Amino acid sequence: MADEIIDIFNEHNIPANQRVLKSRAHTLGLWHRTAHVWLYRPNGQVLLQLRSPGKDLYPRMWDISAAGHVGAGETPEHAAVRELHEELGIRATNQELVFWGVKTLKTTYKEFINNEHSYVYGYRFTESLDTLNLQTVEVQEVRFFTPTEMRQSLYESSVGATLDVKLVPHGEYWEWILQKISSCCLS
C-alpha cells in the first residue's frame, strides 16, 4: 500500500499540529490515530481478518475485522467507514457504527514503533461472508470466531503452543473487545 500523510498527536491525544508520512511516524514512534471496526454477530461471534502475506506488520496473523490509519484532516468516524468499504466492501454509515471508546496502544514490531490512539467501533453484521469483497493486498481471508475460540488462541499463544490460529499480539485489548461484544449481544 502507498504511504499516506497522517496527523500527529501527543501521548495524551492532543494535536501536535504536525503532519508526516505514516512510515515516518512508525520509524520515529510518533503518536497518531487509527480506526478499528469490529464486526460481530448477534450470537457473539467476531469476524477476524487474516492479514495478507505482503503486510509489513504481522503478516499471516488474525486481526481486527477492519482497521486503518486516520488520514490527515480526516475524522476517526470517516476513517472507520472508509476502511470497512476498502477492506471488506461494506458500505456503512457513521450511524451504523457503535463507538466503544479510544484505546491507547503501543507496539513494537521489527523496525516499527507503533504508538496509536485507536478509535474503536462495533458493527453488527448479519449478512453472509459471501457478500464481502476483500481487498486482497490487505486481507487474505475472513472468518467468524467464537469468544471461546479467541480466548483459547490467546492462552495457547501465551504459553507457546503451536496453533493453527495466530492472533496479532494486542494483549489486554483482546479481552476488552470481547467484553464490548458480549455487552452488545446481551442487550
> What are the residues facing 39 on neighbouring strands?
123
pLDDT for the residue numbered 134: 96
pLDDT for the residue numbered 36: 98
Q: Give pTM, 2 decimals.
A: 0.93
Matching residue, cell 490512539: 117
**How far is it, in rounded angstroms, from Cα 180 to Cα 81?**
19
pLDDT in tens, 100-126: 999 999 989 888 899 999 999 999 999
pLDDT for the residue numbered 148: 87
Which sign, positive or negative, has the C-alpha torsion 112, 113, 115, 120? positive
pLDDT in tens, 123-148: 999 999 999 999 999 999 999 999 88
10-residue stretch averages of pLDDT, the chain, 187 residues long: 90 98 96 98 94 90 96 98 98 96 93 95 96 95 92 67 73 92 77
186 CB neighbour count, 10 Å cutoff: 7
pLDDT for the residue numbered 162: 44
Query: Residue 181's closest CA among 152, 140, 160, 151?
Result: 151
Spell out the domains of the chain, with CATH numbers in brackets: 5-186 (3.90.79.10)
pLDDT for the residue numbered 86: 97
> What are the residues facing 33 on neighbouring strands?
117
pLDDT for the residue numbered 59: 92
Strand, coil or helix: what is 143?
A: strand
pLDDT for the residue numbered 156: 65
**CA gyration radius, the chain:** 16
CA angle 17, 114, 107 (to 5 degrees): 145
